Structure 1
């Protein structure tokens, strides 16, 4: 087979725009959860400290980093960066480092950078990486005189109170939806109402389309933990075991996948016009429309394309490729 390369690569690939396969309902649930979560944080902190702090009489300090934590807890409730240990230790350790840096190196232009850098390193070693923790460390340095006056009390008021509130809200809110798990250990995904293949009969060869289909079944933004990866693999196996290895024939105007994983995965659309006239008239033109070599144009015989192809695919709503006939 031969192919000619086109210089134009989709902007999606350069910007690394991932396909979000969650439903519209799930997106709105995440938004509602974040709204409720931040409301709970404010109200609980205000109730615990009605007098406020410093120059905030009658109010309560609400960390800006709680907004970022709300995104993780309510939009990615099963994500590794969203789990309670990451939220608790990520904020508290970062707060401690931020306060310590401010006390040791006050009024230095680089103090905030030092605090964030040390916080990231500490979160790595303590296995509690939580991106909003970097903002908590930075706030301890650039938060102004009111925050500086708190010293290490900053860890309790407002950090610990804010963290407790966002976690309570996250646990209560996500428990209302059977497919959401927070913390991820507490809620097991309900068994899929589809027929499964007995383990004794399995002969698994996973494909990219199987992963796409399995992610679609999760209906949740995937920032994956080991537990969710195991579940995703199981769903992908079920898809892989229901399909034939090769299409019966190659048809013009249809799309086919090589069924491989990762960077080697590719989808070709067969043209409705032949490649050339004369001796090569039996060759078909194809265009690579997804995966490895996207944008390339080539030609091959129907037999060569059938040997390359694993199965026919179609483009589903949301931009995912699926085996023809599968949901």
Structure 2
């Protein structure tokens, strides 16, 4: 199986996040978990219900730390999903354990109900499933807590991770948390549209997301803002390249599955004059891995602009000289 096909099947996305951002996320997660432990231990220095081992630290907080520090603007990372996702899941897990203790399927039922509840309550937070499961498989110390499990350790842990996320992300202007604070930051002046035949609206996105019928880990506001910035970027460039140069890459500029990038070969096609037919290879997007040939005029009509791969494996427009 070709490497690009394997990457598609495994859904390995190209990551264009800078090295600095990666290390900031890692440092935030480290400090966040330290904050959770310290606050919980400070509130309950002797543990819970005679647990002399110290304060309980939920393993699911590690997953929450990944979201609030590595994806601070994601829909799954916002305060309501973090708070309600853990608390409602904890309630469901404790209830399931009380009603059906010592059954192999109790944990599965708890996780399933927690997922359904998070959907309906608009608080999907993947670590909540682990919180529900921990209430069932956590052992006698956790079972002895009963509904106190919601307060200690869940609520204390959640409060600590949220406070740490707000404080840490506030140090960096581009990653305010929660995302509402990020949207309130001053924006650069918008590009004046040259002429738009069709202008997508917020309502169009709401309708499209409804048709998709699948949870998307990005807020509607961020999605529409992203599209608006992309449209402004597109309006700065010409519609088609002036020439097609062998050895370079060109994109059709389309969205989603129809997007494609072709590399024009230096060697001309064998079944036509070298000045008329050019060989190209599809190197990204629709038809990746395929080979074809077309005239320079046909390729100009197909192409929207020249592109080049960056260090992160993404494709960016190449400015004309």
Calculate the TM-score normalised by the size of structure 2.
0.89
State the distance in 1 between where 2:157 and 2:19 align: 29
Aligned match for 2:239, one of 241, 245, 248: 245
Structure 1, unpaired ranges of 5+: 1-5, 207-221
Shift of residue 122 of structure 1?
0.4
**SS state of the match for residue 54, structure 2?**
coil
State the distance in 1 between where 2:142 and 2:243 align: 70
**Residue 298 of structure 2 corresponds to residue 312 of structure 1:** no
Change (3 A) 1:181 1:278: closer
Change (3 A) 1:313 1:75: same
Cα deviation, 1:94-134, whole Å, max 9, x if unaligned, reads: 00000000000000000000000000000000000000000
Shift of residue 279 of structure 1?
6.3
Aligned match for 1:269, one of 263, 287, 302: 263
Residue in 1 that maps onto 2:196: 203
Structure having greater relative contact order (Cα 8 Å, sep ≥ 6):
1
Superposition pairs for residues 35-74 of structure 1, below 5 Å?
Answer: 35-54=30-49, 56-57=51-52, 59-74=54-69
**SS state of the match for residue 25, structure 1?**
helix
Residue in 2 that maps onto 1:30: 25
Cα deviation, 1:47-102, whole Å, max 9, x if unaligned, reads: 11111024631610000000000001111111110111101110000000000000
Return structure 1 stretches of 4+ with deviation > 6 angstroms: none
Aligned match for 1:130, one of 101, 118, 125: 125
Aligned match for 1:173, one of 153, 168, 175: 168
Change (3 A) 1:272 1:191: farther
State the distance in 1 between where 2:272 and 2:229 align: 48
Superposition pairs for residues 1-327 of structure 1, below 5 Å?
Answer: 9-54=4-49, 56-57=51-52, 59-188=54-183, 190-191=185-186, 193=188, 196-199=190-193, 201-203=194-196, 223-277=217-271, 282-325=276-319
State the distance in 2 between where 1:285 and 1:76 align: 42
**SS state of the match for residue 125, structure 2?**
coil
**SS state of the match for residue 299, structure 1?**
strand
Cα deviation, 1:16-69, whole Å, max 9, x if unaligned, reads: 111111111111111111001100100100111111024631610000000000
The CA RMSD measured in Å over matched residues stands at 2.1
Shift of residue 181 of structure 1?
2.0
Change (3 A) 1:100 1:10: same
Shift of residue 249 of structure 1?
1.4
Preserved CA contact (<8 Å) 1:8 1:295 = no
Change (3 A) 1:302 1:99: same
